[in-house]
């Protein structure tokens, strides 16, 4: 009994000790009070509700609420762990009146603040606020720099939230608030200058811009501006003008480029948008504008199909007085490159081996325009990437040069350099602004050594042979006559022409000396062809006029020297600058001036061909007659053959000469001309001296007088010849006949 009673008491004690096992969730057994008490989940687990929230304990449970400025993700007011978290409430959204008028709401994490808009100030002059309102700030009276707001030529007039500058005559604010008065130089658009007379459309542009400029000058009230419409009118006039194709005069192109650049600077501040793109058939424009009371900063990237501009707003705005806006523009002309594919005299740094290359414009012409008034020496260079007209890799004979178009109408490389280049594009860096393009320098593939060697050797042989011809025709008595006189002067002219050609054809400096050399070559080569014409006339007279071939020397001299002299004098008077080119002291190919030589040459060849045809026809008739004078007929036949051969040699030489003096003659043409020019003296000596029996005999007699052995040899030959007396008599008769001819 006592043992059972003890077990009962022990069971009762255990039951009383574990009574909390019967408490519901959220409660725990308190041994002190021996009852179930609440568990404070907020204390035991501080992160139960997450960030930006507070925990509220309840009997047997708890709940969470978001702090002010936050909202639960499911938009519940009360929630527990696992039902979501608190996120920021953007007070600025959906409550436009939270900050009041003329202010801006700035949201923060769990809160917000307000700031007054530009031109307004808080009633308590707070920068950031949540209470209060914004009132107008009178810039004209309360600004620290109130004297500088409109400049010395404007009067500040306060308006709600801003101010307006009333400008004096000659100044404008471009009808924009908070813009100081800028000087307008409407005289820049006067249309009385020379280029406008050469390009009628340019006068229209100038007049249109001048009228718009005068309308803005001294504006005291808001004027409705439409810069986009004005820009479109400018492009329409430019398109019409460039379509005429009359802008092929350098000075006119300069006037066009300058007029368009000035117009863009005038129109830029009037454009509505910060970035404007406009394009037509002849020009493509990308214009960026920044407005404000402080200078803009940051990079500028403008691009078109043909070019890409890389600069910054600091460069565009400059360091001078800030007018309240900055303009940057990239203008690409689509067809102007053909009109400025000239005037490369000022291009430097492209020589190779002392030889000047030929140039051609190899990109579209691009103008870069900024509102910075000091563009002649920029603090930071601008980079312009050009797209080539064709994809051609640089090589030993091709290189690319960055150049700009000067106001005097010529290309120059001063201040511009090539940064990088490949087959399709070239990147140029320039420390000033203008109109730019990429020039392709074509360096001649030099064959100078071979050509010079052939020329010097050939012309030396030619001059020696012509010297022998001149001495032969002058002192050989047995062949004296009209034909010999013609050959003598033909050889003299050819000798002088070859001598001048050898010494001066490539001596392009000084210019005056080069022009003199070109004129002398013009005269003496024309004289050669004139004497060749006289030879054809003489052959015609010999056959047609029954061998009456005698012509007075005075007449021969008058025609042989007077005709080429007349042509040269007329040519020099009409176009004196036509003598001398960049590479040779010869006639310029510009405007067809070289045909003052090739024209008479072609005429001589055609007339001689006519005379030779008549001569051959008459000779054939005389050979077919009953009693032909075979001796004289064979001589005339020989004369005709040599004359035709001589004409063919000189004619072929100058046919190749037509192509030789072009910009880039083929190598084969250069060698053909050089060979014919070098050997013509030798060929004349062979045809008129060595192939002539009389001349050979005269040479033999001359040599026999000098060398006894040679005299004995010819004496032996004459004694072994049968019928020598008859031969001598026949020979004497032939010499007399040929001398008369």
- Has residue 163 been placed in a domain? no
Mean pLDDT of 608-620: 70
pLDDT interval class at 727 (50, 70, 90): very low
pLDDT, residue 714, reads 44
Residue 214 scores a pLDDT above 90: no
Same domain, 389 and 428: yes
Same domain, 332 and 203: yes
Same domain, 410 and 285: yes
Q: Which of 344-358, 390-404, 684-698 is predicted least confidently?
A: 344-358
Structural domain boundaries enclosing 389: 186-442
- Has residue 305 been placed in a domain? yes
- Has residue 592 been placed in a domain? yes
Token readout for 274 is: 């910060």
Q: What tens digit of pLDDT does each residue of 36-70 get?
A: 888 888 888 888 888 889 999 988 889 999 998 89
Same domain, 530 and 413: no
pLDDT interval class at 257 (50, 70, 90): confident
Same domain, 429 and 513: no
- Has residue 121 been placed in a domain? no
pLDDT, residue 589, reads 77
Residue that terminates a domain, selected from 38, 69, 88: 88
pLDDT interval class at 524 (50, 70, 90): very high
Rounded CA separation 377/454 (Å): 51
Residue 72 scores a pLDDT above 70: yes
Rounded CA separation 680/649 (Å): 7
CATH code of the domain covering residue 582: 1.20.1070.10
Q: Which residue has the tokens 């008739």?
A: 621
- Cβ contacts of 668 within 8 Å, gap of 6 or more: none
Residue that terminates a domain, selected from 442, 468, 485: 442
Rounded CA separation 740/735 (Å): 9
Residue 677 scores a pLDDT above 50: yes
Rounded CA separation 175/110 (Å): 43
Distances from the Cα of 370 to the Cαs of 195, 233, 304, 318, 406, in angstroms? 24, 21, 17, 9, 17
Residue 717 scores a pLDDT above 60: no
- Has residue 717 been placed in a domain? no
pLDDT, residue 374, reads 85
- Has residue 639 been placed in a domain? yes
pLDDT, residue 107, reads 92
Mean pLDDT of 14-34: 67
Same domain, 438 and 473: no
Q: What tens digit of pLDDT does each residue of 325-341 get?
A: 899 999 999 888 888 88
- Has residue 334 been placed in a domain? yes
In this structure, the number of other CB atoms found within 10 A of the CB of residue 534 comes to: 24
Same domain, 414 and 462: no
Residue 664 scores a pLDDT above 90: no
Q: What is the mean pLDDT of the chain?
A: 79
pLDDT, residue 642, reads 60
Same domain, 475 and 436: no
Residue 511 scores a pLDDT above 50: yes
Q: What tens digit of pLDDT does each residue of 537-554 get?
A: 777 777 666 555 577 888
Same domain, 482 and 592: yes
Same domain, 556 and 437: no
pLDDT, residue 75, reads 85
pLDDT interval class at 647 (50, 70, 90): low
- Has residue 598 been placed in a domain? yes
pLDDT, residue 496, reads 93
CATH code of the domain covering residue 310: 2.60.220.50
Residue 494 scores a pLDDT above 50: yes
Same domain, 477 and 432: no
How many structural domains are present in the chain? 3
Residue 407 scores a pLDDT above 70: yes
CA angle centred on 556, ends 552 and 559, rounded to 5°: 140
């Amino acid at each position: 009994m006592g043992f059972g009673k003890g077990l009962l008491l022990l069971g009762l004690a255990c039951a009383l000790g574990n009574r909390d096992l019967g408490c519901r969730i959220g409660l725990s057994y308190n041994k002190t009070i021996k009852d179930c008490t609440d568990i404070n989940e907020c204390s035991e687990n501080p992160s139960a509700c997450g960030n930006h929230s507070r925990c509220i304990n309840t009997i047997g449970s708890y709940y969470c609420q978001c702090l002010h400025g936050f909202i639960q993700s499911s938009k519940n007011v009360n929630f527990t762990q696992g039902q979501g978290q608190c996120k920021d409430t953007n007070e600025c959204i959906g409550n436009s009146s939270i900050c009041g008028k003329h202010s801006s709401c700035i949201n923060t994490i769990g809160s917000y603040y307000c700031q007054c808009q530009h031109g307004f100030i808080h009633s308590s002059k707070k920068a950031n606020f949540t209470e209060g309102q914004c009132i107008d700030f009178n810039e004209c009276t309360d600004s620290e720099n109130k004297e500088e707001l409109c400049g010395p030529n404007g009067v500040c007039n306060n308006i709600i939230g801003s101010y307006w500058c009333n400008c004096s005559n000659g100044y404008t604010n471009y009808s924009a608030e908070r813009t100081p008065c800028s000087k307008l130089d409407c005289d820049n658009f006067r249309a009385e200058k020379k280029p406008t007379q050469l390009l009628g459309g340019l006068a229209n542009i100038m007049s249109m811009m001048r009228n718009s400029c005068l309308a803005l000058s001294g504006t005291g009230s808001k004027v409705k501006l439409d810069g986009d419409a004005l820009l479109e009118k400018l492009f329409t006039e430019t398109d019409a003008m460039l379509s005429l194709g009359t802008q092929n005069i350098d000075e006119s192109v300069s006037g066009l480029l300058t007029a368009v650049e000035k117009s863009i600077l005038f129109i830029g501040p009037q454009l509505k948008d910060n970035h404007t793109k406009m394009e037509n058939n002849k020009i493509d424009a990308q214009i960026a504008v920044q407005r404000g009371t402080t200078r803009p900063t940051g990079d500028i990237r403008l691009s078109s199909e043909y070019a890409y501009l890389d600069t910054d707003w600091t460069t565009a705005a400059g360091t001078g007085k800030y007018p309240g806006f900055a303009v940057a523009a990239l203008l690409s002309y689509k067809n102007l490159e053909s009109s400025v594919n000239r005037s490369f005299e000022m291009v430097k740094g492209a020589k190779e081996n002392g030889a000047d290359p030929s140039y051609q414009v190899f990109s579209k012409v691009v103008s870069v325009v900024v509102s910075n008034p000091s563009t002649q020496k920029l603090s930071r260079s601008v980079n312009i990437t050009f797209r080539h007209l064709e994809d051609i890799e640089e090589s030993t004979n091709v290189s690319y040069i960055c150049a700009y178009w000067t106001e005097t109408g010529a290309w120059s490389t001063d201040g511009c350099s090539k940064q990088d280049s490949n087959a399709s594009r070239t990147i140029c860096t320039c420390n000033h602004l203008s109109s730019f393009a990429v020039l392709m320098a074509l360096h001649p593939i030099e064959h100078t050594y071979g050509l010079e060697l052939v020329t010097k050797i050939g012309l030396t042989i030619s001059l020696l042979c012509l010297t022998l011809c001149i001495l032969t025709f002058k002192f050989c008595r047995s062949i004296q006559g009209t034909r010999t006189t013609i050959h003598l002067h033909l050889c003299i002219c050819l000798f002088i022409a070859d001598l001048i050609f050898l010494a001066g054809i490539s001596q392009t400096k000084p210019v005056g000396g080069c022009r003199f050399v070109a004129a002398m070559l013009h005269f003496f080569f024309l004289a050669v062809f004139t004497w060749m014409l006289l030879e054809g006339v003489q052959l015609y007279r010999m056959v047609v006029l029954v061998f009456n071939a005698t012509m007075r020397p005075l007449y021969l001299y008058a025609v042989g020297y007077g005709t080429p002299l007349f042509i040269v004098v007329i040519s020099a008077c009409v176009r004196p600058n036509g003598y001398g080119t960049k590479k040779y002291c010869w006639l310029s190919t510009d405007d067809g001036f070289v045909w003052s030589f090739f024209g008479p040459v072609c005429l001589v060849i055609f007339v001689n061909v006519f005379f030779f045809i008549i001569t051959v026809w008459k000779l054939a008739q005389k050979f077919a007659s009953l009693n032909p004078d075979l001796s004289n007929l064979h001589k005339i036949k020989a004369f005709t053959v040599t004359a035709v051969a001589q004409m063919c040699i000189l004619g072929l030489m100058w046919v190749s000469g037509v192509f030789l003096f072009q910009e880039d003659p083929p190598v084969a043409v250069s060698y053909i001309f050089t060979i014919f020019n070098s050997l013509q003296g030798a060929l004349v000596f062979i045809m008129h001296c060595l192939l002539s029996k009389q001349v050979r005999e005269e040479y033999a007699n001359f040599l026999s007088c000098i060398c006894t052995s040679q005299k004995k040899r010819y004496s032996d030959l004459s004694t072994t010849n049968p019928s020598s007396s008859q031969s001598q008599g026949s020979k004497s008769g032939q010499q007399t006949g040929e001398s008369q001819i």
